[in-house]
């Protein structure tokens, strides 16, 4: 068995995958906070609930409604986070694929559970990637 610094070869791959996954999780939390801050402070993402009065004989009237446009993103905030989330997700998937392919070569023995752990990293990071991305309307 190939050993690096008195550890099996696959341990370094799992350590770096864990670091990348924690970074992706941190960016997921940051993207959630940026999205909440950009949408406003109300319970449903709106700054206030307008009083809308609907009459059947006339047009729709807004009495005392608070109308505000969508706030412009700060200097690259959500777009920059989205870019880094994408890059880290791609790095995790490529590293999982590389570790799996290396484990198939003779002489690079690995435990039976390594494939399951690599799938967990892949699907977990795919979930965080999907959950942290949003449409840029600006």
- Residue 91 located in a structural domain: yes
Number of structural domains in the chain:
1
Read off the pTM. Answer: 0.64
Q: Is it the case that residue 2 has pLDDT exceeding 80?
A: no
pLDDT level of residue 30 (50, 70, 90 thresholds): confident
Sign for the CA dihedral angle at 22, 84, 123, 6 comes to negative
Contact 100, 118 (CB under 8 A): yes
Whether 71 is in a domain gets the answer yes
Q: What's the CA gap between 39 and 46, in Å, rounded? A: 7
Residue 49 in domain: yes
Cα angle for residues 61, 63, 67 (degrees, 5° grid):
90
Residue 85: which of 19, 28, 36 has the closest Cα?
Answer: 28
- Reported as a pLDDT band with limits 50, 70 and 90, residue 135 is very low
Parent domain of 25: 7-132
- Judge whether 138 lies within some domain: no
- Would you say residue 67 lies in a domain? yes
pLDDT digits (tens, 9 = 90+) for 69-127: 555 545 556 677 888 999 999 999 999 999 999 999 888 888 999 999 999 999 999 99
CA 85 centroid distance within chain = 6
């Amino acid at each position: 068995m190939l050993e690096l610094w008195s550890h099996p070869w696959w341990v370094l791959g799992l350590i770096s995958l864990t670091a990348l996954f924690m970074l992706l999780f941190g960016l997921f939390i940051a993207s959630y906070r940026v999205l909440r801050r950009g949408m406003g402070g109300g319970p449903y993402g709106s700054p206030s609930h307008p009083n809308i009065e609907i009459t059947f004989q006339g047009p729709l009237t807004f009495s005392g409604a608070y109308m505000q446009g969508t706030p412009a993103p700060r200097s690259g905030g959500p777009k920059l986070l989205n870019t880094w989330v994408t890059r880290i997700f791609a790095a995790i998937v490529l590293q999982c694929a590389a570790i799996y392919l290396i484990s198939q070569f003779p002489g690079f023995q690995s435990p039976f559970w390594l494939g399951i752990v690599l799938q967990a990293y892949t699907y977990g990071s795919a979930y965080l990637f999907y959950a942290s991305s949003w449409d840029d309307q600006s």
